[in-house]
Amino acid sequence: MKDFKKYYIIPASPVELYAALTNPATIQLWTGAPAIMTTEPGSEFSMWDDNIAGKNLEFEEGKKIIQQWYFGEEEEPPSIVTIKLHEHAQGSSVELKHTNIPDEAYDDITEGWTDVYFAALLEFYTH
């Protein structure tokens, strides 16, 4: 198991970005695929045609999202994604921390965060 931490700058306010990450209609706009998402702790979510799925753990509107991501079999310890949103001169600074990534998935997951997930958000807000 490995951990990953990275910062991204997205040209949208933390409130706008929070909505883009938690509203299923907006998620569909930037991912191009239907999403299942709610801000109810304990609810399950799914994005990108079930390529990303897990359980919502905690939300702080406009500031923080904490989720458990699933990787096939039940993971012990669970793989936790924490996204913190901070005001930035160019919009938002996003602090991403993803813990307990299975070793065999690490390269795909870390590349996916930058080249797919946050690249899609960046494109959504710049075009």
Count up the domains in the chain and report the number: 1
DSSP string, 64-119: EEEEEEPBSBPPSS-EEEEEEEEEETTEEEEEEEEEEE-GGGHHHHHHHIIIIIHH
Q: How far apart are the first and last CA of the chain?
A: 37
What integer pLDDT is reported at residue 39 of this predicted model?
96
Task: Give the model confidence (pLDDT) of 56-110 as tens digits.
Answer: 999 999 999 999 999 877 667 899 999 999 999 999 999 999 999 999 999 999 9
Q: What's the confidence (pLDDT) of residue 74?
A: 65
Structure confidence at residue 26 (pLDDT): 95
Pair 36, 28: CB distance under 8 Å: no
pLDDT digit string, tens, across residues 32-65: 999 999 999 999 999 999 999 999 999 999 999 9
pLDDT for 123 beyond 80: yes
CB 21 within 8 A of CB 118: no
CATH of the domain at 26: 3.30.530.20
- Structural domain boundaries enclosing 36: 2-126
